[in-house]
Amino acid sequence: MNRMSDQIGRVLGGRYRLLAPVGLGASAMVFLAEDVQLHRRVAVKLLHEGLADDEKFLKRFRAEARSSAQLNHQNIVVVHDWGGDGADATPSSPYLVTEYLGGGSLRSLLDNTRLTVPQALVVGLQAARGLAHAHNRGFVHRDIKPANLLFGDDGRLRVADFGIARALAEAAWTEPNGAVVGTARYASPEQALGERVDGRGDVYSLALTLVEALTGAVPFSADTTIATLMARIDTDLEPDERWGALAGPLARAGRADRDQRLDSDGLVTALMAVADEVGPAEPLALEATSMEGGGAVPGEGDATVALTSVGPVVTLEGAAPPPAGTEPVLAPPDQESIPAEPPGWRRSWLVRIAGAVAAIALFAGGIFLVTQVADRWLTGSDSPTTAPSLVGITLAEAQEVAAEKGWALEVERAPSDSVAEGSVMAQSPLEGEPLGPEGVIDITVSSGLPIVSVPNVRNVSLDGALTRIREGALRVGAVSEEFDESIGAGRVVSTSPTGAVQQGTDIDVMVSKGPAPRPVPEVVELSEADAVAAIERIQLVALVVAEASREVPEGVAIRTEPALGTEVARGSTVTVVVSSGLPFVTVPDVIGEPAAAAADILEAVGLVVTDTVGPPNTEVLFTDPAAGDTVREGTGIRIISATD
């Protein structure tokens, strides 16, 4: 790619004339440009020309640009256009055209100042609202950091670069299989583990960004990138009194377990809840120039990491050396993106060779963390002392050797699946190379087996779960069973432990036996409605059957089938027998019988003779109710016999 000055005046797609450089990163150059058709100023992000030959990237880039352009929210940078398909005559590079912002980035702001709690609330709320809009439409940013939070001339914050991180993750020059690219200093625990990310990963990164804005330091920062990433895997963001009323929302947004972490909608709600307590904010002292400090360049000045199954591979997204306190650079930036003789960096050929060696070692090992080579031995030393061989011995033994010689050890730990925990697996200087006058040897000590993520196998069949556990370099521990109301029988309910563990850890698996059986409840002497409700309350089905009863009042439950206490499967049918009252009888035919005898016959079937009209020894003419009528037991009946 030509240097940025050589691009000035170039017209992309026959429409966008590049006017002035704005920012430079390893993957893109950003220009102030003029849309010659609409006569307006725009920002153009011109990606590395090497990506133009990557069909997979171009396909993803076009899809992500097209999708991102659909995002319409006041806190998201507007995407106007995209190109790079060979439409213009010059060698084509993918490019993205966005709205022009004149207020700079949060990164450039934080390089000079810190935010007050009210200012951080305003910034966080605007960013969270933009993220919520995108997340609710299926977009995940994957690279939230101060450099991607831009301000317009009106002071309103916009989130930049939706879709770019995902597209770059699938480019040929990154790790395959969907590895996630993101700035290591702000990466979420799931990014550190190489897992797929969702919107809650963006919320975590925003929480770290806001903490940096308040305190000047990114939480969990360590001396190395891998140490930074490992520190946050199982550790929640702890509240700090400097965060003021934002402590609660930020702590909940910074949970290591994303299932316990706020999503973007939840963060908006949490921030709004403390707004009255925080109070009004003073205006931000924004840049007068447009997007100074690389506001539109993803990751400028930050070490970024492509996280894969073999370990972190670190590259530099940016031209300038990182400021004090940022991640160490583990692979050199593209030579053309390095300004001439930046302060504090040596530009000798030895430094460049050392950087190349570091990059090769990092690529080959995948896990070893290669630190920058100190100037004291690059430039040579008058001391004849050479470094001993420390690789293969324990840390304690290395410390004894160093103590005897009066040397100092700089110890760094990294996981290894081949070197025993506590043993030295790398050193710098190497054996036989000269030690500098300070006599310092950097060693990397194995922290044991690599950290891997326990796969989420909830609601997966047992066979499938065991396969995924073993494929994740873990061992299957105890398999047990329990009832579960939501997981079907034979599928996994949970694993223990969860989260991040050492490779080879035993993972216990709990398998569902299905819903627990239900004992038939006590419903006798309840009304029909109450009896049905009691059965349906425990997810059984009630079938009501009527039965006459001389003892139980009408409408009251007599019994259940199956009987009280019988255990049945959830969803089973339980018959509820409900009293329909006294039995029905048919009035006997007593016509022609003597009245006294007729009374005995009627009372024998449960009827009550209430009146006899006529002499008791005369023949019955009729009854009321009449013979053959159906009436309940106990019904009163009149006997009408012959009359004078």
pLDDT digits (tens, 9 = 90+) for 539-556: 999 999 999 999 999 999
Domain ranges of the chain: 4-99, 106-307, 374-448, 454-512, 518-579, 584-641
Architecture category of domain 374-448 in CATH: 2-Layer Sandwich (3.30)
Confirm if 194 and 309 have CB atoms less than 8 A apart.
yes
pLDDT number for residue 171:
53
Architecture category of domain 518-579 in CATH: 2-Layer Sandwich (3.30)
Nearest to 415, CA basis, from 502, 504, 321: 502
Residue 139 gets the label, from left (phi > 0), alpha (psi -120 to 50) or beta, of beta
- In angstroms, the CA 106 to CA 155 distance is 11
pLDDT number for residue 549:
93
Nearest to 266, CA basis, from 310, 206, 320: 206
Cis omega (within 30 of 0) for bond into 562? yes
Query: Looking at the domain that runs over 454-512, which CATH code has it been given?
Result: 3.30.10.20
Poorest-pLDDT segment among 43-47, 67-71, 96-100, 319-323: 319-323
- Quote the DSSP letter at residue 639: E
Of the residues 143, 161, 263, 302, which is catalytic? Answer: 143
Helix/strand number for the chain, H first, E second: 17, 29
Residue listed under structure tokens 């060979």: 86
- To the nearest whole percent, how much of the chain has pLDDT over 90? 46
Nearest to 141, CA basis, from 212, 204, 230, 214: 204
Amino acid identity for residue 221 in this structure: S
Confirm if 298 and 315 have CB atoms less than 8 A apart.
no
CA 277 to the chain's CA centroid:
29
- In angstroms, the CA 419 to CA 427 distance is 14
Q: Which CATH superfamily is domain 4-99 in?
A: Phosphorylase Kinase; domain 1 (3.30.200.20)
**Tokens standing for 200?**
């809650």
pLDDT number for residue 26:
58
Helix axes 264-273, 199-215, angle to 10 degrees: 40
Average pLDDT over residues 162-172: 63
Poorest-pLDDT segment among 167-171, 383-387, 441-445: 167-171
Does residue 374 surpass a pLDDT of 70?
A: no
Residue 418 phi/psi, 5-degree rounding, is: -130, -20
Confirm if 104 and 293 have CB atoms less than 8 A apart.
yes
pLDDT band at 371 (very low <50, low <70, confident <90, very high): very low
Nearest to 131, CA basis, from 270, 263, 16, 1: 263
pLDDT band at 337 (very low <50, low <70, confident <90, very high): very low
pLDDT number for residue 350:
36
- One-character DSSP codes across 547-588: E--SSSPTTBEEEEESPTT-EE-TT-EEEEEEE--SPEEEPP
**Helix, coil or strand: residue 396:** helix
Does residue 58 surpass a pLDDT of 80?
A: no
Average pLDDT over residues 404-408: 87
Strand partners, 444: 412, 426
Cis omega (within 30 of 0) for bond into 429? yes
**Tokens standing for 635?**
């019904």
111 as an active site residue: the answer is no
Nearest to 457, CA basis, from 447, 444, 470, 445: 470
pLDDT number for residue 183:
64
pLDDT number for residue 287:
61
Q: pTM for the whole thing?
A: 0.47
- Quote the DSSP letter at residue 594: B
Nearest to 633, CA basis, from 556, 549, 545: 549
- One-character DSSP codes across 445-463: EE-SSPEEEPP--TT-BHH
Question: In CATH, what class is 584-641?
Answer: alpha beta
Average pLDDT over residues 463-488: 94
Helix residue ranges per DSSP H, 55-158:
55-68, 106-110, 117-135
Per residue in 124-153, pLDDT tens? 999 999 999 999 888 889 889 998 999 998
Nearest to 182, CA basis, from 299, 93, 264: 299
pLDDT number for residue 177:
34
- In angstroms, the CA 389 to CA 411 distance is 15
pLDDT number for residue 29:
84
**Helix, coil or strand: residue 536:** helix
Per residue in 86-128, pLDDT tens? 444 344 678 889 998 888 899 999 988 999 999 999 999 999 9
Are domains 454-512 and 518-579 of this chain identical in fold? yes
**Tokens standing for 266?**
């939840």
pLDDT number for residue 254:
96
- In angstroms, the CA 231 to CA 308 distance is 18
Q: Which CATH superfamily is domain 106-307 in?
A: Transferase(Phosphotransferase) domain 1 (1.10.510.10)
Strands 608-613 and 636-641: parallel
- In angstroms, the CA 181 to CA 305 distance is 6
pLDDT number for residue 497:
92
Strand partners, 426: 444
Contacts 24+ apart (CB under 8 A), 620-626: 620/590, 620/591, 620/592, 620/593, 620/594, 620/595, 621/591, 622/591, 623/587, 623/590, 623/591, 623/598, 625/587, 626/587
The secondary element (H helix, E strand) that includes residue 316 is strand 311-317
CA 570 to the chain's CA centroid:
33
Confirm if 440 and 410 have CB atoms less than 8 A apart.
yes
Cis omega (within 30 of 0) for bond into 625? yes
Helix axes 117-135, 264-273, angle to 10 degrees: 150
Confirm if 444 and 224 have CB atoms less than 8 A apart.
no
- In angstroms, the CA 227 to CA 414 distance is 8
Confirm if 144 and 107 have CB atoms less than 8 A apart.
no
